[in-house]
Chains A and B, each alone.
Chain A
Amino acid sequence: MIRRLASAIAAHPVLVFLTIFAVFPFLVPYKALATQVLIYGLFALGFNLLYGYTGLLSFGHAAYWGLGAYGAGIALAKLKVGSLWVALGASIALPLVAGTVIGFFCLRRRGIYFSMLTLAFAQLLYFIAFHLADWTGGDDGLRGITVLPVHLPGLTLSLDAPLAFYYFALVLVSLAVAGLQRILDSPFGAVLQAIRENADRAAACGYDVTRVKLLSFAFSAVFAGLAGGLDALRLSVVPVESLYWTTSGQVVIMTLLGGAGTFFGPFVGAATYLVLEDRVAVVTESWPLVIGGVFMLFVLFLPRGIWGTLRGGFHGRQGA
Chain B
Amino acid sequence: MKRYVISRLLMTLPTLIGVSIVVFSTLHLIPGDPVQYILLHSSHVVKLDADAIRAQLGLDQPLHIQYLRFLSRALRGDLGEAIFFERPVTSVILDELPYTLRLAGLGMAFIIVLGLFFGTVSALNVNSWLDSALMAIAVSGLSIPDFFLAMLLILLFSVKLGWFPIVGPESLKILVLPAFVIGFRASALISRMTRSGLLEVLGEDYIRTARAKGLSEQVVVIRHALKNTLIPVVTMLGLQFGGLLGGAVIVETVFARRGIGYLAVKAIEQRDYPMAQGTVLFVAVFYVLLNVIVDFIYAYIDPRIRYD
Say if A and B assemble together: no
Chain B contacts to A: CB under 8 angstroms: none
Chain A contacts to B: CB under 8 angstroms: none
